[in-house]
Structure 1
Amino acid sequence: MVKLTRTRPPDDAAASSKRAVRSADTARNYRVVATAGVFEPGFRGGGPIRSLRFILDTLPGDLDVTLITRDRDLHSPAPYPGLSGRLLRRDDRSAVFYLDPRAPRHWVRLIRHVRSRPIDLLYVNSIWSLFSVLSILVVALRLVRVGAILVAPRGELSPGALAIRTAKKRLFLAVWAPLLRRLRVRWQACSGLEEKQIRANMPWAQVMVNGNESPIPEHPAPPARAHDGPLRLVFVGRISPMKNLSTALEAVAGTTRPMEFDIFGPPEDPHYWSRCQRIIAAMPGHVRVRYLGELAAADVLPTFSRYDAFLFPTLGENFGHVILESLASGCPVVCSDNTPFSELIADTGGLVVRPATAAGLSRALDLLAARSPEERAEAKGTAGRRYRHWRQRHREPNVLAHARQFCR
């Protein structure tokens, strides 16, 4: 007997071959679509921009990441020149799509790209962002299928953050949390502190703790030189209630020794900035305060290196890039106890003030101002050296490589 074998038409064979190629490609590359409200070349978004840049710069070779972000900086009316609507390839592992949400053509282009291949992980940065909400709704409605969802709240679930516009945020969470639970969303915490904050609001949450979001400094901190004159203080950050500049200003006003306090950052909340300006206008004569505008990312470390201390009574940081940048520059930190780095701040010669009231901060600043020029210079050198030693000892896998294992 002759056994007859049914063969596929040539077209079917070609299609099968293409499917096999796609399947092999998918097996080689774990595909991630990430969303963030702002990314480079913007800088007003602060730490999350630097986190995402480091994550993309250190991707393993078998990951393929597309980051979807707005085509302009935070609160900017104008798009980045030449980037709006473009998919910009950073390297062979990552690309960034700059979206104008009001441009239908951008959405068509984006949807075509997103649906071109299966998505293993949706990585959402922020809970409240329009980008986060829309991307999760798209998955919930099954318009796009993903293997898993990972949410990085970026400090938005800290008590300090939830205390701002409390009623609106609590109402949103009451509606949103059940959907996230139904979708079996996983969470990324940048520290043990943030893990506790996530669980306090989402007791059912599966949380991955990974804070590997800052580079090891390539160079030592600039040499610190003794200087006569008042204590030089700096504030670098968004001018918003969360960063608590008003308390920093009240603390400086309550000191008894001469001080200079320079402020850098975008005024994010006009009403809050007006309040800060009123405090500045009433400063005593022994204190000089200047607002010096915004800082580009490349200017942050050189700026910190010129000061004796970074005054930062923040209401809460899930990570706190700006703290690490200050220490990397050899600038000790005077801070609240609302960050993951209290122990590091104390070990590098700074001061953690508990509670971070204006009066308590004033006393800490007077102690720093009482140091001799040589003691201030020594403190700056100590901060830079001890930070580098700490950073060398604290290494974790790339966040998305970790997520690949965690979200299985």
Structure 2
Amino acid sequence: MRETTTRDRPTAGGPAARQSAADAATTAFRILATAAVFEPGFRGGGPIRSLRFILDTLPDDVDVTLVTRDRDLHATERYPGLSGELVHRDARSAVFYLDPVRPRQWLRLLRQIRSRPVDLLYVNSLWSMFSVVPILAVALRLLRVPAIMIAPRGELAPAALAIKSGKKRLFLAGWAPVLRRLGVRWQACSQLEADQIAAALPWARVMVNGNECPIPDRPPPPVVAHDGPLRLVFIGRISPMKNLVTALAAVARATRPVDFDIFGPDEDEPYWARCGQLIATMPGHVRVRYHGELPADEVLSTFARYDAFLFPTLGENFGHVILESLAAGCPVVCSDRTPFSELISSAGGAVVRPMTVPALAEVVDELAGRPAGERAAAKVTAGRRYRLWRRQVRELNVLDHARHFCR
């Protein structure tokens, strides 16, 4: 297996400094992490950005190898030059890009993992093959790891469990006893998610840590007032959980001019067909446009162009896209099923309770009726409140917290 280095961090100084670095590497707390998708992919949304932030902010005595698929979510093409490679991001983290159908890559990966002890297995998903396989390897003693932590990333939210509920309940009935016997710990990104985990698995030991925000604390773009139609945007995966159908149905009821732009991968064809039917029947004063997928590095600049982010999600364990919107000075109109209801309400937006089409349509009409100055003032408030919130976030790196929690 060839190792590829993208951001080597050379050891400075003479022999004493190099020996100190070697000693630190020897005593580091070693973590094997898994996720179905990671950079350079972007279709996986928030979890990718969470993992990037976690790896970029590791303490010096924590060492992480992340195993992920060699392609983006739902993609057939591999990342060029990465399949089967171990890529060093820096001195503390590396990523192995796996093609699950290639046995030789599994053997290379197994040799890499067994080459040195692993202190913690950290998996991002409850259902993914990238979680089930390593946990089974521990259960069968093919992999010796003293502790396991699962970050379910919202998969135990009631709305998420309701999608293909029969299969999920059946799987959980057989899988939960295995996880309990192994003494698995759980990470929640918020108290909301911790409560959802406890409701599904009353025996679970849960660590709450939401320190996963990679958005830089730089000034928001300047706000320019405009007199045209209300500019709304949706950025996210086009799937039942994100509830775009409700957004479209509400916009269709608007009594004032509205422009509504949609960005995101249409990963659920039947669901996107329902969206298309609604778009085709919009009244003449409502313009809806679909712009396809949006690369991660264009999200903030895109949000900055709009008056509000319409996001009637059925549930978010964290909600990076909410913070991205606020960071760009774009107020959020959202359901109450996120950890950020208080922040959204104080940042020029609205939390719609309950999230129904009539209730959301009423909010859209109210926004559309605001003068240009009020819309601009709400955008300024969004950027200011986000930066105040960010300065107040003081938590350990998730994996540093996990190291202590799993002892």
Shorter-chain-normalised TM-score: which range?
over 0.9
User: Letter of the aligned partner of 1:111 in structure 2?
Assistant: L
Partner of 1:138: 137
Normalising by structure 2, report the TM-score.
Answer: 0.94
Partner of 1:16: none
Q: For residues 115-174 of structure 1, what are the alpha-carbon distances to aligned partners after superposition, in whole Å with 9 as ceiling and x for unaligned? A: 111110000000010110101000000001002000000000001101111111000110
What's the secondary structure of 1:378's corresponding residue?
Answer: helix
Partner of 1:11: none
Partner of 1:13: none
Partner of 1:294: 293
1:206 aligns with 2:212: no
Matches within 5 A, 1:4-403: 28-215=27-214, 217-403=216-402
| 2:215–2:324 Cα contact (<8 Å) kept | no
| 2:70–2:83 Cα contact (<8 Å) kept | yes
**d(CA) in 1 for partners of 2:256, 2:128:** 43
What's the secondary structure of 1:391's corresponding residue?
Answer: helix
Partner of 1:9: none
**d(CA) in 2 for partners of 1:239, 1:224:** 28
| 1:332–1:379 Cα contact (<8 Å) kept | yes
**d(CA) in 1 for partners of 2:215, 2:286:** 36
Greater Cα offset, 211-220 or 336-345: 211-220
**d(CA) in 2 for partners of 1:155, 1:112:** 32
| 2:49–2:214 Cα contact (<8 Å) kept | no
What's the secondary structure of 1:288's corresponding residue?
Answer: strand
**d(CA) in 1 for partners of 2:302, 2:215:** 19
Identity of aligned residues (%): 72
**d(CA) in 2 for partners of 1:264, 1:158:** 24
| 1:216–1:391 Cα contact (<8 Å) kept | no
User: Letter of the aligned partner of 1:154 in structure 2?
Assistant: R
Q: For residues 270-311 of structure 1, what are the alpha-carbon distances to aligned partners after superposition, in whole Å with 9 as ceiling and x for unaligned? A: 000001000100111110000001010100000000000000
Partner of 1:14: none
**d(CA) in 2 for partners of 1:48, 1:26:** 27
**d(CA) in 1 for partners of 2:26, 2:189:** 29
**d(CA) in 1 for partners of 2:165, 2:143:** 32
**d(CA) in 1 for partners of 2:86, 2:229:** 50
What's the secondary structure of 2:338's corresponding residue?
Answer: coil
What's the secondary structure of 2:146's corresponding residue?
Answer: strand
| 1:71–1:98 Cα contact (<8 Å) kept | yes
The alpha carbon displacement at 1:217 in A equals 2.3
User: Letter of the aligned partner of 2:350 in structure 1?
Assistant: L
**d(CA) in 2 for partners of 1:374, 1:305:** 16
**d(CA) in 2 for partners of 1:153, 1:334:** 25
| 1:217–1:388 Cα contact (<8 Å) kept | no
| 2:30–2:62 Cα contact (<8 Å) kept | yes
Q: For residues 320-345 of structure 1, what are the alpha-carbon distances to aligned partners after superposition, in whole Å with 9 as ceiling and x for unaligned? A: 00000000000000000010000000
The alpha carbon displacement at 1:346 in A equals 0.2
What's the secondary structure of 1:233's corresponding residue?
Answer: strand
**d(CA) in 2 for partners of 1:311, 1:25:** 48
User: Letter of the aligned partner of 1:114 in structure 2?
Assistant: I
**d(CA) in 2 for partners of 1:243, 1:79:** 27
| 2:24–2:61 Cα contact (<8 Å) kept | no
Q: Give unmatched runs, 5+ long, in structure 2.
A: 1-19
Partner of 1:6: none
Partner of 2:5: none
| 1:216–1:392 Cα contact (<8 Å) kept | no
Partner of 1:10: none
User: Letter of the aligned partner of 1:326 in structure 2?
Assistant: S
| 2:335–2:352 Cα contact (<8 Å) kept | yes
The alpha carbon displacement at 1:349 in A equals 1.0
- C-alpha RMSD of the superposition: 1.2
Q: Give unmatched runs, 5+ long, in structure 1.
A: 1-20
**d(CA) in 1 for partners of 2:273, 2:337:** 25
**d(CA) in 1 for partners of 2:217, 2:171:** 43
Partner of 2:7: none
| 2:156–2:200 Cα contact (<8 Å) kept | yes
User: Letter of the aligned partner of 2:298 in structure 1?
Assistant: D
Quick check: which has more Rg, 1 or 2? 1
Normalising by structure 1, report the TM-score.
Answer: 0.93
What's the secondary structure of 1:179's corresponding residue?
Answer: helix
**d(CA) in 1 for partners of 2:57, 2:206:** 22
User: Letter of the aligned partner of 2:305 in structure 1?
Assistant: R
